[in-house]
Every structure is written in C-alpha cells, then in structure tokens.
Structure 1
C-alpha cells in the first residue's frame, strides 16, 4: 500500500501582487534571504603564523568570508553577509548603540546585502596581510584578557538581529582556542559556560543557527569536549579523556556509543565542527545553490462544482466551485546570462550610472508623441493597408481572446489510467505543484486526500492549465507523486507534476520510410562487440548534471568577477563536459577498434559506402575512425600538410570548432592535442 501524503503547516512566502513576477520560496522560511554573520576569534593564537602556509588562522577565516561573499554576488545576490571579529583590544560596533553590546568586538562589516565594494575591501585587507604578516595583528590587536564567550555570542546576536528579516539566519563561529575558560585558572568559568548555554537557548527561540568552524592541527587537534561540547551540542567521541586524565566522560548524543574502540578512526562527529571539513562543505554548499527553486505561479485548483450557488443570509451569492490553493515550482529551468546594462560616465562625479531608456510612439504624419490611449492594436486583413482592412481590438479584448476568457487557475477535467500517459506526450519541462493554505484554508488536507487516492488507484488527472495572465491555456496531465523516504530522509516530496500535453498540430506525422524500411538486424558477434564497450563505461550511480557545470556560464561569471575586482581575466575556460580522451583510450581503445572491425566486415556497410562514393560529387570531408594517423602527423610536425577539408575532419573527430582558415585549424588542433598529452 503506498504511503499517505502528509503536509505539515510550514511558513510560506507572502504572495506577490504581480502574477508575472518570479517569487523565490523556501518552504521552511518566511523570507528568502540567507543571512550569515562570521563571528571570528582574534585572540593571540589566531594571529600566529603557520610556517607551512605563511598565513595565520585569522587570515584563513577572513579568506573564507571573502570567498563566500564573492560566490553569493553571483549565486545569491540578495543574501546578507557580515563579519565581526571578537576578543580584540579595540571596540568598534556600527549596528548598535553604546550600552547594547559588550566591549571587545570589532564589527568589520555589518550584516547587509552583498556588494562589490564590501567584498573588495575584505580582499584588499587580505592582500595587505599577504604582503605584511603582522598587518592583521595591527588591524585587530588581540585583547590582553580573554573575552567571555557568552559576551561574544551576545554581540553576534545583536549584530544579526539588527539586520533585516531573512529566511535563514546563521552565525559562523570560528576559533582555534578549545578552552577559553579553563576551570583551573578562570574563576568565572562556570558563569561563562552557564551564560553561553542561556544565550544558545535565546538563539534557538529567535531562529538563529550556529555553525562552528574549529581550527586545529595534526600536532594539536581541537578538543571540543573541553569547553564547547555542551554549548554547541557537538561532541568528539574519539577523545578518550576518561582513560588518560581520569576526567568524567563527555556526554554522548543519543544514537552514538561512548566506546572509543568502536569509533576509532571513523570521525563520526568531527565533520560537524572540524574547520578542514567545514570550509570545504561551505564551498560546496554555495556552488550547489546557484539556481534556487522558484515559485512561478500561485493559483487556485478547481476540483469541480458543488450543486448550485449558495446565497448567504446577507444576500451575497457564494461560488459553487470546489477549489483549493496551490503553488507551482519550476524544478528544471535553463540558466542564462544576465542581460547587459548600458552605462555611461557621469561628468560631474566620474561614476558609472545606468542608462535609462524611454519608449515613445510618434505619429508619422504630424510627428507628435502619442499617448497610450491613442494607440490601438489592430490586425491587418487583405493586401491593402487601408483602414477598412484593419480589425481593431481593445487591450482587454485581446486578453480575453488569448486566454479564452479563463482566469489563472488549474481546472480538473477528469481522470485516466496511468498507462495512457505516453513518453512522447511531454513537450516541455513539467511543473511541480504543492498545496497552500494561505488563500484557501484546508487546501493541504484536500490535496493530500486527492493525491493518496490517485496513487492508490494508479490514475492521472487531466486539466486545463493557465499559470498566469497573458498566456494561452494548455491541457496538462496531472501526475501524482507519493512521498519517498529512505533511512529517515525524504528522497521525493509528495505532490503532483503538471505535464503539458501537445495540441494536434504539435504532433508530426511519422515518415513513411520508417515503416517501409524495416531495420536490419545486427549479427550476434557485432552485438557482443558493442556490449563490451557499453559495459566498460557502465556506472552504478545515475547521471548527475550538477557534476558538469555550464562552462560558458561559469566563464562569463569569472570574467565579470575579475573585472569587478580588478583582477587578471581568465585565459582559458574550464570545461568538464569535454570527453576524457586519455581514460577512453586506456579503458576501451581495443574494444572500440574491435567493434569497428566487426562493422567494417559487414557487407551491408561496405555496400552503403560504395554507393555513397559513387553518387557523391565534389570533395567530401574526410572522416577519421581513430587518431593514430593524426598523432603521427602531429609528432612529425606535418599537420599543415593536410588539406582544409581533412583538417575539418580532424576537428570533427575531436569535436572542435571547424571555422577559420587553415592556419587557425592547425593551431586549434595542436593546442587540443597538447592538452590531451598533459
């Protein structure tokens, strides 16, 4: 029996008044901005220079902040980032009034929307630190006495609460001091620990999440159990303090064993706080959020009619349509480059300002500017351009013609068996719909009941779909999707997919040649030769497009970033979509050659080749089955002896651009072969 769909009441985004605007939505948040505050320790140990890298831990933390800001400028430009350095002798706080914060913190950057000047300032600070290792110590001199951790957390809370609302608020706590308040020497250690626990409880009420980045070395690993274990609820089960020092065994979270022998070498919890792992996860997290999922429409779902209209006591006629609220998501969309902006240099201040364009309609006879009311859309009929041949429509009339008088909604027309939905019925990417109780209370319960029934009976729905105004309604197939949970983790969310169905004129007739010429069957030894090649490249895991970023788009953003920060432009494009020729040659060269030999021996292939040669006229582009001859000519320096037609065949073999003169083709092929040989 399929699992039942469960829809919990989660905070959703407020509806935008404009139906045509794309609205980002995170079902777990009211607002969509991600807010991050770097809370970095600047104690004496953070300023010590690492001999291997020549930099300090404070430099590494600031570099991580600059990297995050750089990536958010492209992936999430509406997010907010701030940087606060604590445990300093100086106090600089910009987002709060005196008396609202504790001394010993330097607010380097208030939490605000990421922008180029702030990022440039952080990068400039890093460049100065690279030239002078003591620059950060002079800019943020460490305090003579350790700042209380609960005070540092309180200042971080003041800095992030003072900013605007956001969907997620996170504090990145970075330090290399694993015991800032030791019991043996600090008389206020107990008070600091207790106050830090209370501060963490306040953060949980405010929805602020603390993410820790604890820096340690191989010689001196970070001992989280000394001070921070109970505060951040992160424990190192590999630390056997009980066996060595006779200390009380640390508290172990539910589900983990305290025996160090069972956990030896596994690092079960270390990934939650170890900076060496967390910085890499942070880099990966930002890169995978380049294309957030968006709500593209918020409409009503009409399920049918309930008798006739109902008149209330006040004489108001209520609708008899049974409807619920839904939101639609575009799970797959093409990411394109942003539109260029025209700018000019302001002569007064010397800054770049965006060019504002205005569109005006001018009467060709009087050369006067026309108002919007004077412009009437019309369709021309006939060959003459006279007024008699023009059929005029008002704006609202055109909308009704285009929308067939339908308002934005999804109307359920009926049901069909799941088997009647064919693969070829899909003409564009589907939308995913999820219920919303904002407009119509109880929508999630009705939606869940309908989903369970469709999944249980193996049915699909048919609907008439109009996502927003000024679009033509289309027929869609409503495909239900049950919730999938693997080991307690949700793999697929419960909901429905809207698959756009083709109209009659969208379906092309199958050519007669397909039916009149039945395909010739391959010999068994030919099938075995092809199967050997395929099996060598078979992967157990499914294809993941996230592993192959768009090279042109990444290069475009790399050029923009380099230009904005006045850095050298990237010389080459990093393209992970190119075939790995060395690996292909190593793993399957002999299998591919064997497959080609089997095909060449077939009489049908030889006959087709002879027929094509006899009927062709002029010079044909040469094709290469392998690159043995090409590499031989390259080593001998005789690539230029090829004709232009042959060189284009070489480019076609390596999937290179075939445009240009002979010299351009030779240089392009030579550069590609050099790249292959490295």
Structure 2
C-alpha cells in the first residue's frame, strides 16, 4: 500500500515540529513550597471588616500562584505548609508544623480551598489551627525537604518561599537558631533554594541581620538589607495568564569552523507562538480516552504493519514507489550541525530574506571544552568587522540542509546590571533561489508631495513606543478565562480588555485634524471610511473565490488536462467545480484523491 508525498516538503514537517520546542528535559517538573508563618502577629489588624491581615495577603499570594501555574506550567508541583500553629500535621510528627496542601499539581479544588480560607476561614483560624511560638524553623524546613524527597514525580528545580513578619523567630534560643542555620545549609547543598518574603509590620523595618542573613545563600556576600517586598508581592498577586516556556536548549550540536576545529553550541528558541492546549477526549465517566491507530488493506481488511507500507511520488504520469529506508536516505545529507561556509557584509542581509522564525545559538562548554572562548572571539570579530557568517545548517540527521546567516548580538544590561539581551548569534534562515518570485503589481495612481506630507503628519502623531509584552492575545485570554470560570464554578468569566483594538478616542484626540486633512486630500468628497463594502468586492471573500473558480472551470477541458497530465496545475477549487459540472464524485477531499478519481473516470493511466 502506498501513500503519496511531495519531495518539496521532504523533512519540513519534522523540522518544524522539532523547532516548536522539543526541549531537552521538557518532561521535568519544578517544585515550589510556600511556607507561611501562622503566629498571632500575622493575623493582627485594627479593623477586621476593613483591613486585610498579613496572613490573608499570604493566602492570596498562594491562590494566585496556583492559578498562574495551571496555565504557565501545569505539571509543576506546589505545596503549602503552615508553621507556628497549635495543631500539627506532618509525616514526621513535628510540633506546630501543619502541611495544609501536599506537594502536588495545582487544581480547582485546591484553589477553592484557598479562596475559602482567605475570605471566611481565617476568622476561625485560632479555633481550627491555633497559634504557637514554640515552633522550630529547622523542623519546618526539614518538613519541606522531606516533601521534595518523597515526591513520586521527579522534581527538577526545588524552591521554598518563606512568608513571615518576624525578623528573629528564635530570640534568645541559640540552639534553635543554630539548628535553623544548619538546616538552611543542608537545603543549599541539596539544591533547594530558600527565598524570604519578608512582610513589613506597620511602623517597623525588617532587619535581615538579626537572623535570616545566615539562612539565605545569595551571590551578594555583603547583603545588609532586603529589597522592598512590595515588588515581590505585586508580582505574586498579579494574575498572569501566560504559558511558561522553559529556558532550555532544544538542540545541542557541533559548530564546525573548518577541518579539525569545532565547538559545541546550544540552539534556543527565543520567541514561540503560544497556542491553546489540545483538547482531551473523555468517555462518559470523564476518564481520558487513549486512541490506537491501525491501517487496514481496503480490499481484504488485513492489518498492515509499518514494513508493508510504501511511499510514492508521481512523476511523468507514473507513480514511483519507495521503501521507507530509501526515503530516509534521500532526506539525509551530512551529520547534523553548523558548517561555516564564509562571511558576508552585514548590510547584505536584507529584511525580506527571512523565510521562517529565527533561532539563537550560545556556546555549550559541557560538550566541547573551550567553546565559550572560541565562540566569544568569533562573535567579537564579526561585530568589529560588521560581517555575518554564512553557514550550512542541518538541524537533525533527517532534516534537509539550509543556508543560514548568523547575526551577532552583544550583551545588553540595564541600570541594575541585569541582563536584558544575551550575547550570541541569531540564526537567520536564508531563502533558496527557488523561493524568490516575481510579483506583478497593479498600476495605481501615485501620491503627490502634498498627500505624502499629510500622511507623514498622521504617522508622526500616532507614533508610540511598542513592546510586544504590552499586548496579550485576546483569543487565548478569553479562552483561559472561560476555562477558569467553569473550573471554579463562577457565574461569569472575568472581564477581559482587548488591547489589540484601536483606542479611537485617543487617536481622534492626538491626530484627528491630521487624519481629516489626509482624507480630504486623498479621498473623494463623498468617501465614508465606516461604510460596509459590497459582497464579492472584498479580496479573499468566499463568494468572489467561488465565482473565480467557476470562471476558470468553464474554460477547462477536464479530459484533455487529464490525458496531458496537467491536472496538478489546477487548484482544488477548480477541480471540485469541474467535477461538479461533469457529475464526477470522489470519496476523498485532498488534491491527490481528486486527481486519481478524475483519471479513473476517464480511464487515463497514471
């Protein structure tokens, strides 16, 4: 049995799928435990009806974190632990430590539980859980460490976020202080990061030197004070419905500068298209359905194995058959990697050369020692001489070779010495000669100098600093809000602001007069920009396409085109329209199926 394929698409699908992020270690999960201080001072407020306690603020942070994780990294694990409670609940039977939520994936039930705690149950917390100052912070950290160790799923990154307003929880108790510092050191050695979310009491400044400085392992050895907690809290409390893409190399390969001179590089994807997740099929009991695919021989119903299948390509009216191994060999050229071909001036890299999203490469010191030094030297020389390396790029062994230009990028830091842009090369995919085409432009009236000046004035009035981070995809935002409303049993989804819509009031205020002037100079006096266009006059209108297909089909002799082997040059719309006129029916919908049906109808050999 044979399946048709096009040589022009050899390996493109596989490459695109891999490019979309087959990340190394994509199945790994990150773990986060929110460790919340529940002593009495976390609940103290002057007016419970008007003010929010620090404990409520912490629970709101926990709730928002779970909501964000469901969308950004739904496989990550989150746990919530209370310390300073009178009641205890933990595997080690430590006193005054209460595991409120186990380390698990976030879900609707857990979010609703936190919501109830924040709104109602915090009022009865003293009765339900109680308060105590006799806790040991070392035992609280030990509990978190055991939760990570006993997790049935493998956890990649481990982090503990400690919420407290007490700058010295073990005042006068040297033993408990020493135990806490020892346990913090153990966490650091086992790869568990401890972060402090210090909460300010009214009229009081949190002094990190009293206790927590020795617990926090940071790159700044001279740290004497902590950053303003309001920024961290605002970040935790902000609802961000966005997918979290792990910053990992999705491919490691060699970069060959010549015979015997290679360095290791990692290929990254800095920008990805974000899509809604795939729908999961469920049975009537809401269990996930797993599908299994089998291919049967049409005539006998016999199940076909992979080795029974062949692929074919139509050439000269005949089907040329290939074994799977032959197709793999046809697609294979050289081992995967980057191969330096030469250098070109950077000005020769035109913007219209871009044919697909770019990648980004960075040195991989682990695969080849000295890669960073060689990579940095190449990048600096390319920047100094204003050139771009031209390379042959083979992403994988079954991918076709592509020519790419490596556009160097220097490191950029902000005023706080935080990296904004990493150093490296952007991999710009270059077109082949076959990718260029001649476009016939219709002759249209040219604008005069006065009209051009009016257009420039409009553009100048409407300019604004654009950043991609300022605009959310309204389709995805609406999708997530509807899903969230269903999961959390809301009456209606949360309101959404579509920032892609033009702000007509602001546009009119800033450029109203300039727009009116431009319209008077360019368009006729009776022109109404808000009027609807006539059906069929809009480019891409279905009615217009159908009318065009009918017009082309009327001038085509289907049998003549089939005998001459020119059916492949006709569009699917024309083929369907002509088959409709000739009363030819086809069970398939693809172009190849339509051509086979037409050839069989006229008894034309393939």
Settle same-fold status: TM greater than 0.5. Answer: yes
Q: Please give the alpha-carbon distance, in whole angstroms, between the structure 2 residues aligned to 1:360 and 1:289.
A: 34
- Cα deviation for residue 167 of structure 1 reads 4.7
Tell me whether 1:492 sits opposite 2:421 in the alignment. Answer: yes
Gaps of 5+ in 2: 1-16, 535-542, 544-606
Match of 1:92, SS state, is coil
- Cα deviation for residue 522 of structure 1 reads 1.6
Tell me whether 1:561 sits opposite 2:490 in the alignment. Answer: no
Q: 1:451 aligns with which of 376, 379, 393?
A: 379
1:262-661 aligned within 5 A: 272=227, 274=229, 276-283=230-237, 290-306=244-260, 322-346=261-285, 352-381=286-315, 389-403=318-332, 405-487=333-415, 488-511=417-440, 519-523=446-450, 529-539=454-464, 542-570=465-493, 573-597=496-520, 599=521, 606=524, 624-625=528-529, 646=531
- Cα deviation for residue 518 of structure 1 reads 8.8
- Give the count of matched residue pairs: 517
Indicate if the aligned counterparts of 2:194 and 2:216 stay in contact, CA closer than 8 A: no
Structure 2 residue aligned with 1:13: none
Seen in structure 2, the aligned counterparts of structure 1 residues 132 and 361 have a Cα distance that, compared at 3 Å, is closer
Seen in structure 2, the aligned counterparts of structure 1 residues 362 and 407 have a Cα distance that, compared at 3 Å, is same
- Cα deviation for residue 432 of structure 1 reads 0.5
Seen in structure 2, the aligned counterparts of structure 1 residues 87 and 470 have a Cα distance that, compared at 3 Å, is same
Per-residue Cα deviation, 1:3-52 (whole angstroms, up to 9, x for no partner): xxxxxxxxxxxxxxx978934469xxx99643211110111223446525
Structure 2 residue aligned with 1:42: 38
- Cα deviation for residue 419 of structure 1 reads 2.2
Match of 2:42, SS state, is helix
Q: Please give the alpha-carbon distance, in whole angstroms, between the structure 2 residues aligned to 1:220 and 1:417.
A: 62
Seen in structure 2, the aligned counterparts of structure 1 residues 561 and 468 have a Cα distance that, compared at 3 Å, is farther
Per-residue Cα deviation, 1:322-343 (whole angstroms, up to 9, x for no partner): 4332221111221111111111
Indicate if the aligned counterparts of 1:211 and 1:273 stay in contact, CA closer than 8 A: no
Q: Please give the alpha-carbon distance, in whole angstroms, between the structure 2 residues aligned to 1:65 and 1:255.
A: 27
* TM-score w.r.t. length of structure 1: 0.67
Q: Cα RMSD (Å) of the superposition?
A: 3.7
* TM-score w.r.t. length of structure 2: 0.75
Q: 2:76 aligns with which of 67, 79, 91?
A: 79
Match of 1:301, SS state, is strand
Indicate if the aligned counterparts of 1:90 and 1:106 stay in contact, CA closer than 8 A: yes
Match of 1:451, SS state, is helix
Match of 1:592, SS state, is helix
1:10-409 aligned within 5 A: 22-24=21-23, 33-48=29-44, 50-53=47-50, 56-94=53-91, 97=92, 102-112=94-104, 114-116=105-107, 119-127=108-116, 130-143=119-132, 145-163=133-151, 166-182=155-171, 187-188=172-173, 190-216=174-200, 219-224=202-207, 227-228=210-211, 230-231=213-214, 272=227, 274=229, 276-283=230-237, 290-306=244-260, 322-346=261-285, 352-381=286-315, 389-403=318-332, 405-409=333-337
Match of 1:354, SS state, is coil
Indicate if the aligned counterparts of 2:255 and 2:263 stay in contact, CA closer than 8 A: yes
Per-residue Cα deviation, 1:436-462 (whole angstroms, up to 9, x for no partner): 234333333332333233233322122
- Cα deviation for residue 111 of structure 1 reads 2.6
Indicate if the aligned counterparts of 2:167 and 2:212 stay in contact, CA closer than 8 A: no
Gaps of 5+ in 1: 1-17, 235-251, 257-268, 307-321, 347-351, 384-388, 610-621, 627-645, 650-658, 660-678
Seen in structure 2, the aligned counterparts of structure 1 residues 193 and 286 have a Cα distance that, compared at 3 Å, is farther
